[in-house]
């Protein structure tokens, strides 16, 4: 926030006209409506029982049945939905944590050490940034089926711990925020290279690491094609794939619609919590990536 407040204080220039300020606020109001109404609708719909869902006004509450709906969802098919939520948290949480560690180590090495083939290595990784995850889903399936490892936890988990974009961010950030002098000082104090990284560098690189973690967390959480291709056992599904399957069954099993809606609402809560709690880190980290 500090950047914004200093900027406001410095406004000695001409006052903006009432007309342009009103126009700006009108644009903001319309956009707020556009972006928030669908989420509001989802929240309201999740609080209704089946009868109210079709008969009451869609954007306002009828009888408040949110808790009952969640309980029903938890009881439906032995809590399969919460198994999916847990799977997603494991795929995304553990996957993003490991991806962040490896990408930061790689980025740090590319920024702070001179070794043969460094630029080639970096360029290959940069090429990886331009290869979209969906394009790799089928090739990954071919690889995993060669070793008979499709339809396993690892077939979805292992590919998601590689983040070329993370390496790119980490390298830029390490170059600009970990001074060579500091690394050298640690070296003179007798600290090993690896220890210096874990005690000194990671502390300075925290904003970049949080950004990489969040990016990867969202990427894995939203990942759909890879689990769709890899998994048959519904006990291994992430929440996106599970809700997709349920949604495609709504025509055959009408009562499932209520579970899709309440499940959709619950599935976005972990991401909102992650973004809100880590806000001050990722905002500064994103700026680094965009400016270069």
Considering only residues 75 through 134, tell me which ones interact with another protein, judged by CB under 8 A: 101-103, 105-106, 108-110, 113-116, 121, 124-125, 128, 130-134
Element (H, E) at 283: helix 279-291
Minimum distance of another protein from residue 10's CB (angstroms): 6
Alpha helices in 130-163 (DSSP H): 133-146, 153-157
How far apart (Å, rounded) are the C-alpha atoms in residues 183 and 189? 10
Nearer to another protein, 63 or 193 (CB): 193
Distant-in-sequence, close-in-space partners of 249: CB < 8 Å, separation ≥ 6: 256
How far apart (Å, rounded) are the C-alpha atoms in residues 201 and 178? 6
Binding mask 21-60 for another protein (x = CB under 8 A): x--xx-xx--xx-xxxxxx-xx--x-------xx--xxx-
Q: Which residues in the 152-181 window bind another protein by CB under 8 A?
A: 158-159, 161-162, 164, 167, 172, 175-177, 179-180
Written as one string, the DSSP assignment of 200-253 is IIHHHTHHHHHHHHHHHHHHHHH--HHHHHH---GGG--HHHHHHHHHTTTTT-
How far apart (Å, rounded) are the C-alpha atoms in residues 152 and 182? 44
268 sits near another protein (criterion: CB under 8 A): yes
Binding mask 199-238 for another protein (x = CB under 8 A): -------------------x--xx-xx--xx---------
Minimum distance of another protein from residue 82's CB (angstroms): 16
185 sits near another protein (criterion: CB under 8 A): no
Taking the alpha carbons at both ends of the chain, their separation in whole angstroms is: 22
Nearer to another protein, 12 or 75 (CB): 12
252 sits near another protein (criterion: CB under 8 A): no
Q: Which residues in the 53-72 window bind another protein by CB under 8 A?
A: 53-54, 57-59
């Amino acid at each position: 926030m500090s950047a914004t407040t200093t900027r406001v204080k410095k406004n000695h220039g001409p006052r903006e006209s009432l007309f342009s300020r009103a126009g700006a606020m009108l644009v903001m109001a319309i956009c707020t409506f556009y972006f928030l109404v669908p989420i509001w609708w989802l929240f309201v719909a999740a609080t209704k029982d089946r009868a109210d869902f079709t008969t009451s006004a869609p954007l306002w509450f009828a009888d408040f049945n949110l808790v009952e709906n969640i309980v029903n969802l938890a009881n439906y098919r032995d809590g399969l939905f919460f198994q999916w939520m847990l799977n997603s948290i494991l795929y995304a949480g553990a996957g993003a944590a490991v991806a962040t560690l490896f990408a930061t180590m790689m980025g740090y090495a590319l920024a702070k050490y001179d070794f043969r083939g460094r630029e080639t290595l970096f360029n290959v990784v940069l090429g990886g940034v331009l290869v979209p995850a969906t394009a790799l889903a089928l090739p990954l399936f071919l690889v995993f089926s060669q070793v008979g490892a499709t339809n396993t936890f690892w077939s979805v988990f292992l590919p998601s711990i590689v983040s070329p974009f993370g390496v790119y961010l980490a390298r830029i950030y390490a170059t600009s925020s970990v001074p060579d002098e500091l690394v050298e000082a640690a070296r003179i104090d007798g600290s090993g290279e690896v220890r210096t990284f874990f005690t000194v560098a990671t502390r300075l690189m925290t904003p970049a690491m949080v950004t990489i973690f969040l990016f990867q967390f969202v990427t894995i959480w939203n990942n759909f094609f890879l689990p769709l291709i890899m998994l048959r056992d519904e006990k291994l599904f992430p929440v996106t794939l599970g809700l997709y399957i349920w949604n495609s069954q709504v025509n055959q099993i009408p009562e499932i619609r209520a579970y899709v809606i309440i499940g959709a609402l619950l599935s976005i809560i972990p991401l909102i919590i992650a973004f809100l709690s880590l806000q001050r880190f990722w905002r500064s980290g994103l700026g680094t990536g965009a400016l270069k």
